[in-house]
Amino acid sequence: MIKELWRRELRLHLVLANYHTPQKFTQTEWQDPRRPAALWYVVYRWLSAALFFAVAVCSVLDTGRADSPKLGVRYIKWPIYLTNWGLVCCCLQAGLGAALATVSLGQEGRRRRAERAAAAAGPGSPAAAQQNLQQSLQAPALPVAYRVYWVLNTISVTVAIGITCTYWVAVYDPREHELDALNILVHAANSLLMITDVLLAAHPLRLLHAFWPLLFVAVYLGFSFVYFMAGGTDRVDRTCVYPVLDWEKPLSTVVVCVLGLSFVVAVHTAVWALHLGRRRCGRALRRFARSMCEAKMAANKNPGDKKDPGVQLDAMA
């Protein structure tokens, strides 16, 4: 089974951000897939987006830090850190995901009203014919907005977890960095929010889509090298943005880059496995709910058999 799973995931065309069921990107795994996006899930998406944007604003302003650098230095050098690149990506995917879920919920409401109007007009009416024609002409390809969200979400979850692990293991220094609320929000809460998103969302995560976070991190590594060659410094005027990414020591830095890119693949694989577990649990829960519903319907069809425990057990089975 594992061999078949890997063979199914390692097909070259899966590198493309395309999927046959767009509504999966606006639904949660823990709902009936035949229904529109659950209202509580839409509310969750907006709360997640609001929290990400609030953390980003607090990060730019260094909220709560009395010994932070001058205001101009904060604004100018905020974009040189990989943490902030990942935070921007998280904000974009959260906002776009919330918008897509909201639009999908509204479209479903309009579609249901149109179906009721077509049913009231009769199957041979022009309204019903037009609705059937529109349904038959729906394109199976994933819309561009959904593709962009999928790519941003894949990058965000892998990079967020990678940033959290790398920061607390290799970058954090209690003599230099404060262990305050902002530090925890930027370097830990981002991963918790993205893992929660993986556990709740219904859309798939492809193994070959590790290409996207790899490209994201590679672009940042290239930027850090160009920034160093241009004489750029960090907020305290050091020549390296991160101590582990010091281009004055090119050999060790290249080794760090290779290890970092390998770690990105490992994190993405772990997230992919988590998403498989979520899908398996969701399917098992839906099968259980379906079997309970069928057993209840079978019991209701034969009300005289309710008194017989053996019949009830057979229906449940």
Q: What is the 3-state secondary structure (H, E, C) of 12-70?
A: HHHHCCCCCCHHHHHCECCCCCCCCCCHHHHHHHHHHHHHHHHHHHHHHHCCCCCCCCC
- 176-187 mean pLDDT: 88
Q: Is the pLDDT of residue 21 over 60?
A: yes
pLDDT of residue 139: 46
* Location of structure tokens 């193994």: 207
> CB–CB of 16/204 below 8 Å?
no
CA 117 to chain centre: 37
- 187-194 mean pLDDT: 94
* Type of residue at 281: C
pLDDT of residue 313: 45
SS3 call for 109:
helix
pLDDT of residue 177: 84
pLDDT of residue 98: 95
Predicted structure pTM score: 0.83
CA 79 to chain centre: 22
For residue 70, name the pLDDT band (cuts at 50, 70, 90): low
- 12-40 mean pLDDT: 85
Q: Which of 151, 45, 152, 48 is nearest to 99 (CA)?
A: 45
pLDDT tens digits for range 195-251: 999 999 999 999 999 999 999 999 999 999 999 999 988 888 888 899 889 999 999
